[in-house]
Each structure stands twice: as C-alpha cells, then as structure tokens.
Structure 1
Amino acid sequence: MSTRRLVLGLSMRYLGYHAAGWRHPGANAAGTTSFAHYRTVAQAAETAGFDLVFLADGMAVRVRDEPKGAFAQSSQVADFEPLTLLSALAAVTSRIGLVATASTTYNQPYSLARQYASLDLLSGGRAGWNVVTSWSDAEARNFGLDTNPDYATRYHRAEEFVDVVTGLWDSWDEDALLHDKDNACFLDPAKLHTLNHQGDEFRVRGPLSVPRSPQRRPVIVQAGASDAGMNLAARTADLVYTAPQSQDAAITFRSELRERAAAFGRDPDALRVLPGFVPFTGLTEEDARAASGELNELIPDELARQYLYNQMGNLSDHPLDGPVPDPQAGASVGSIARNLADMAQRDNLTLRELARVIASGYGARVVVDAGKHIAAEMLDWFHSGAADGFNICAPLLPETIGDFYRHVMPVLEKSGLLTDRNIPTLRGRIGLPAPASRYA
C-alpha cells in the first residue's frame, strides 16, 4: 500500500497559462525560447516545494488565425522541444521531477523509450512521460498526413505503444552491470532481456541500450478524460491530469478512474490524480482580483475569441453577449468543452465572459482568492477524494510561483500532508513503489 501525500506539480509551458501573460510589464516576452527563463522557473519551483514541473507539447504551430488577427497576438507559437529542455534543467536542479509530453501518434517506441530512460538516468530518477495521442491536424501535416488518424486508431496505437515502451524499460535488471575489471566482465548477459514484441502496430526487438535508473522506470502521466483515455490511464498511468470545473466532477472522475484501475487488476492506490487549476492569489481576495484584472485587461478581443473557438468550436454565428451554446461536434478537446459549457451554465456566463475565462487559463479552472482560502479548498479536495494533489497551471511565470509560495504554501505546510523533499526520485517522492519488472 502506497503512502498518500499531497502532490504538487507546476505546468510551466510558455510564460504561463494566461493568454496575455507575455504583455505583462514584468514579463520577459522572449522567455518562451530562453533557457534562463526556464532555469529560473524550475529552480524557483524546486525551492518553493513543488514535486514536479510539467512541460506540455504539441508537434506543430497549432495557433490558428481565427478570428483574423489572433495569430499575431499569441505567444504560443515559439518554444523548445521538451526533452532537450528538461535534460538541460536536470543539470541545474536536484530534487524536482521533470515531466514532458510526447505523442504516441508521431513517435516510435524504441527512440522514445531511449530518450526518457536517458533523462531518467541524467536526472537521478526524476523523469516522467506524459502520454498523448495528438489531436490536431496541424501535427498530422508535419508527418506526411492531411489529417490525424481517427480516434480509435490513435488509442489502439497508444495502448500498444505504452506496452512496448514499458517493456523496453524492463530490459535491464538492477544488477546487470558488473563493471568487473579483474575478470573482464562488464555485464551479466543473463540480466539483459530482449523484448521481441510483435503487435498490430509495432515490431520491436530490443533490448534497450539505456540501463535502468534509480526509480526503475520513468513515471507515466496521462490526461485523457474520454472513455478510451480513462482506460489507458487506468491501465498504465502513475499520475493522471484532469481539468474538472467543480469538486463534485473531480470526485466522480477520480472514483471512476480508480474503479477502472481495479478492473485492470491494479491497486487503485497506485494512481495519483492531479486536477489542474489556474490560481490568482494574494494576501487578500482583493489582491487576487487585482492581479487577475490586470492581466485580463491585456487580452486582445481577437485572441480571447480564438481561445474560445479552439475549445468550443467556431461560435462566430453566436453573439458574444449571448448565452453559451452546447459544444460543437468539432471542438478539439471534447471533455474540456463539455466542462466549460457546464460551468458557463452554472455561473450564467455569456460567451464574452467565457472567452475571458478560457483566455485566463486555457480551459483549466480559474481560482481567484486569498492564499489561505485557496489552500483550504485544496485540502478539502484532497480529503474529500477529489484529488491526490494538483497541477498548478500558473497564469504568469515566474511570478505565480512566488505568490503561491508566500500565500498558499504556508497553510499546506502546516497540514503535514506535503511530500518528503529529501526523497531523491520522483516515484519515491510521490509515494509510489517501483513497478516490478516483467522478468522478475
């Protein structure tokens, strides 16, 4: 049985989740391609007590010029390749986990397994792989296709892809490398295993050329909320990101995910569910609202509508000051669109107001309150079974880290529920046992 602690992740892509963050007077607008910016963010997150940093990714420029002019207003068009960046950050951090997205649709299992195993060794057992299937046709067009493979095909490939990668990560027993100079024996061949995978999508012989790390294999992260996504997470994931707009929705999701994990023969306590939210905080609620309002005033109208269309489909035929319709069938991320529509109905939001909310946090739940109230809500979610921790989607980086550290973290520290920062591996820090090798 694993020990359940409150896990804190920081999503650190771009300059933060707020669409207008790059326009803030204190922001380094060139930070999206500055190693110094990401080094500052990762080191600040480590000092503040976060367990991991998370770098989302898409293998294309996915911002569309809808409506006209939005493309030129977006900062989400220039960034680093995640594993290259996290490998560099591994050298300037010592305790914080390093998690990055990689697609099962536009990669091959052997090369991806090798890359993440290398990051895991370089970091001393702090790597994690966020498994995605890629949803945009912009990515397809960078890999010789006009459109993405259909939903069922992508998830069928993803299931096999993860099985191959985890199989390759089992290639080396812990004591396979002997380094015996006197007897000229570098390794024990009996402890190096060949996978010989033959499946519908892949044929991979193995073994992997990268030995095992101190945490045995990288942590697997997944964020799918669809039926197939939840099954993939329940069967394979260690950490699961989710984006509920209410505590009840979070409780329902986590409960169902744990039931599915048990049906796959897994211990449900071997899962960590981390809802995401975008915190605007300060000493008082007034301080938090001032910070939120300052950024919201910087959102150009075209960019706000672009965020709306990206999550909800093209709603240009609907008046901005009218009610929010049901999500269109073509909305890019269906579960997020449904959550947003439910939130808009609950809070009686107009399309314009919803556009501002989405542009503030790209569809994640936005929370504007005093730090002590945010911390109390986080602890309530943890105790109620809505969450095992949280993926903090910072609206502005690195500023949000300091605000969170000063105003939220002291209350969380007093709870006694935070993880042990002295544990060197990510898997150990979040209270998960090393998975057994299939060759054990």
Structure 2
Amino acid sequence: MMRSRDTMTLGLFFNHTGHHVASWRHPDAQADAGVNIRHYLDMARTAEQSKFDFLFFADQVAVREAHPDALSRSAQYTAHFEPLTLLSALSVVTDRIGLVATASTSYNEPYHLARKFASLDHLSGGRAGWNVVTSTAHAEARNFGRDQHYGHAERYDRAHEFLDVVRGLWDSWDDDAFLRDKQSGAYFDPAKLHALEHRGRHFSVRGPLNVPRPIQGHPVIVQAGSSEDGREFAAATAEIVFTAEMDLASAQQYYRDVKGRMARYGRRPEHLHVLTGINPIVGRTEAEANEKHAHMQSLIHPVVGREILSTMLGGADLSSCSLDGPLPDLPPTDASKSGLYQNIVKLAQREKLTIRQLYLRLAGARGKLTIKGSVEQVVDKMEEWFRQGGSDGFIVQPSYLPGSLDEFATLALPELQRRGLFHRDYDGETLRDGLGLPRPESRYKLTPRFP
C-alpha cells in the first residue's frame, strides 16, 4: 500500500481564528487571534501536548481581493503575523512539534528563503518545514511590481529551479565545517565551504549561504498541488503533500498516482506522506456534532459565502447568479487547471447543488473534507481513509479556536491512540525523525567543490 508508517501522521493547520470562514464570529473564538501572540503560544502548547506531528501555517502576501462588503466580514487574509516570524517565536516555547510555514517561490528570492528556513531549523533544534507554493492571486503580483502573476507552467518551472537553488544553498557548509578551535584560531575549515555558482533560467545565485547547514540537512519539504503539474512536483520533491480530496475513491486515486510517479525520480513511496485536509466536528453524540455544525453554518453571511466560492473558483464572477440556482458554465481560465477548481465543479455537477448549497458545503471548511459525528463516527471515517489507501494521515483544520482544537484533542485523539492509529509520544528529536524521513546527504559529499 506504500504506507509511510504504521500510525497516522497528523498536522494541525492554524488559521488564526479557526478554519471555518465564520470562525471569528463564534462566541468562544479569539476574535483578535491573528495578532495575539498569547493565543498562538497557548495553541502551540496544546498541540504539542496532544502530540501532533507538526503545526502548519498558510500565508498570502496580500490582503485578499474581494467585494468590500464580503472582505469586511472576514478574518481570513486581512491581518495576521508573518508565519516565519511567528514560528521563530513558537520555537522557544515548544520542544518536539514540527513547525511548517508557507512561503511562495513566486515572490521571494531563493537566498532569502534558504537563510530563513535554515535559521528556523537551528532555532527549533531541527523542526522546520517549508510549504512550497506558487502564488496565484493577482493581488500578490501587484505588490511585487507585476500586473499579472506568472502563468501556470512558468510558476512550476520557476518553483523547480527555486527549490533546487535553496537545497544547494543549504549544502553550502559541510556538517562538520565549523571547528571553532580557540587554541589554533581556526573557526571553520575552508575546504568544507562551497559556493553554489548557480546560473539558470530564472535565477543567478553564487552563494554560499551565511547560515550553517540545517540540523535536518534540509528542512522538510511540503507541497499542496493537485493539478497535473502539482502532482509531478510533489512526486519529484515533496516529503509531505497536502490534498483536498472530498471522497475516498478520489483520495485513493490521488494516493496511487502521486506515489506511483516517485520511482522516476529515484524516490521511495514511503518517503512521501500524503495528508488529507479535514474539518473534524466531534461531539459526544451525533446529534451534538450536528448541532455544533449547524451553529457554525448559521454564522456564514451569504455575501461571504458567495465570495469565498468565487475565490475557490479562481475569481469567477458569481455576482449576477441566483444563490438558489445552479453553478453556471464558467469560461476556462488559468485557475480552472487547478485540482481544487476541478473538484468543486465535479461536486456541483454530480450532486446538482445550488450556489448556496455549494458554498455551505465548501466555504465553511474552505474546500476541505468535513467529518462530523460522534467520537466513534469521526475516528471510523479517519481510520477508513487511512487503512483503505486514501491517505497517510490528515491535516486537522479546527472550525474555530481554541474550542474545536480542544474538542478534537480531548475526544478524538485518545480514541485514535486507543486503536493504535496515532502515536502516544514523539519519535526522535527532529521533524524528519518523527516522520521517518531520511536526512539528505550534501550534494558535495562525493564531489567536493571549493570557492
């Protein structure tokens, strides 16, 4: 089955107030969470006590473009901390949990990100991970001197080269390069320092990096693409891939497809963790879970629901459409190539959903799978996907914070552990150790190069 390990991998997705689009409106939510460091400190401690494998932060380098009425009713992508800065702070109050941040290859430079993630890996004792994304939002492009973002194919071509440069920079110093010998006066061995001298289509980077080789060799590489290009990129480079499949059959197909591509890159399938995004709503009974979900759904303003659906569909204009009518035929765009876009259109057609029904299905969990029910029902569903080859685990996306995280941690996690589906403690010291991933060898180990 190409399983990565015998127990589930569980990441925790921190969307500051929670993952539900109306999370900030819940009476028990921390409404100012995006800029409340105490909130993040508390959540990180809870996550580590619960033995989550890693924390995950998404990011976008722009305020989301939307109708002002919709935007003013949303806490998403408006005001929150830059994730690498935040994770550096959280590294001080945690010891074992992985720390994964999103950073775009479209609007950064390789040297910048190589330096930042290497620094985070040292600050955290080897717990850093990089979610490699290619930006698609026009608002981001206009913050970086461009009228339009890069086209789909160019984004991925740039991303491949970007990642190769970053990995080369992480190998700038051999693991034992720093002598720090006070008696001899030798601070480092110059034979163990390497200049990259990269000249490519998109980047020209000499190197070396002015941070020692990361503790993990390379921070763990995370990726979230479901398109054809995204799947190939994941097979070639990713160690965790974050998916948004909505049914088991689709998840099984994705799982087999991506892991089946890895051999052509000389990679073993167990070195990639395929994780499905889920919005778990756990109750002591099914009725209690349904009540919780209904309350969250009632907080979605129709303007926000339609706008979120439009965003998921690459900015499709739905403003003239009746909320109680079907999703119209949409003109093909660059965004229509994405896996998320295609999954939404298929869902609407398969179940003949109105726009209102579609946004209620998707906007709350922002296009991820909602699993609701009693403890047993939620864990049964997770176990089915895990055992039936749909995933190696899950990215857990609590509806609102802190309440939904506390509920999952106190109700579902103990049952997962009782069934032997989730570990009771961390393995090893680094994120790689915990995930059973090999530590990469330096590219210079067999063919040393000198500045």
- TM-score normalised by length of structure 2: 0.93
1:13 to 7, 12, 15: 15
Greater Cα offset, 40-49 or 328-337: 328-337
- Cα distance, 1:331 vs. partner? 7.8
- Cα distance, 1:328 vs. partner? 4.6
Find the counterpart in structure 1 of residue 449 from structure 2: none
* SS class of match (1:429): helix
Find the counterpart in structure 1 of residue 46 from structure 2: 44
Find the counterpart in structure 2 of residue 141 from structure 1: 142
Listed as ranges, the matches of 1:242-391 within 5 Å are: 242-312=243-313, 313-325=316-328, 328-330=331-333, 332=335, 334-391=338-395
Structure 2 distance, partners of 1:135, 1:57, is 12
- Cα distance, 1:24 vs. partner? 0.9
Listed as ranges, the matches of 1:182-197 within 5 Å are: 182-197=183-198
Contact 1:311 1:331 in 2 (8 A): no
Contact 2:244 2:276 in 1 (8 A): yes
Find the counterpart in structure 1 of residue 440 from structure 2: 435
Deviations 1:394-426 (A, max 9, x none): 111121111111221112112334344152211
Contact 1:327 1:341 in 2 (8 A): no
* SS class of match (1:129): strand
Contact 1:100 1:128 in 2 (8 A): yes
AA paired with 1:14? H
2:428 to 423, 426, 433: 423
* SS class of match (1:361): coil
- Cα distance, 1:50 vs. partner? 0.7
Structure 2 distance, partners of 1:344, 1:309, is 13
- 5+ residue gaps, structure 2, are 446-451
* SS class of match (1:73): coil
- Cα distance, 1:348 vs. partner? 4.1
- Cα distance, 1:48 vs. partner? 1.4
- Cα distance, 1:5 vs. partner? 3.3
Contact 1:5 1:430 in 2 (8 A): no
Deviations 1:282-304 (A, max 9, x none): 11111111111111111111111
Contact 2:170 2:214 in 1 (8 A): no
Structure 1 distance, partners of 2:281, 2:367, is 15
Find the counterpart in structure 2 of residue 71 from structure 1: 71
Contact 1:126 1:425 in 2 (8 A): yes
- Cα distance, 1:322 vs. partner? 2.3
Structure 2 distance, partners of 1:270, 1:325, is 41
Contact 2:30 2:401 in 1 (8 A): no
Cα 1:64/1:8, change in 2 over 3 Å: same
Structure 2 distance, partners of 1:176, 1:3, is 34
Deviations 1:67-121 (A, max 9, x none): x611111112111111111101111111111101001011000111000000000
- 5+ residue gaps, structure 1, are none
Contact 2:277 2:397 in 1 (8 A): yes
Structure 1 distance, partners of 2:173, 2:43, is 34
Structure 1 distance, partners of 2:167, 2:197, is 13
- Cα distance, 1:203 vs. partner? 1.1
Structure 2 distance, partners of 1:172, 1:327, is 51
Contact 1:310 1:331 in 2 (8 A): no
Identity of aligned residues (%): 47
1:58 to 55, 60, 84: 60
- How many pairs are equivalent? 438
- TM-score normalised by length of structure 1: 0.96
1:392 to 396, 402, 421: 396
* SS class of match (2:93): coil
* SS class of match (1:391): strand
* SS class of match (2:149): coil
Structure 2 distance, partners of 1:411, 1:330, is 44
Greater Cα offset, 270-279 or 398-407: 398-407
Structure 1 distance, partners of 2:245, 2:335, is 17
CA RMSD of aligned residues (A): 1.7
Structure 2 distance, partners of 1:196, 1:349, is 54
- Cα distance, 1:393 vs. partner? 1.4
AA paired with 1:8? L
- Cα distance, 1:358 vs. partner? 2.0
Deviations 1:133-184 (A, max 9, x none): 1001100000011111211211111110000001111122221112222222
Structure 2 distance, partners of 1:189, 1:119, is 25
Deviations 1:339-364 (A, max 9, x none): 12323344443211111122211111
Find the counterpart in structure 2 of residue 413 from structure 1: 417
- Cα distance, 1:40 vs. partner? 1.4
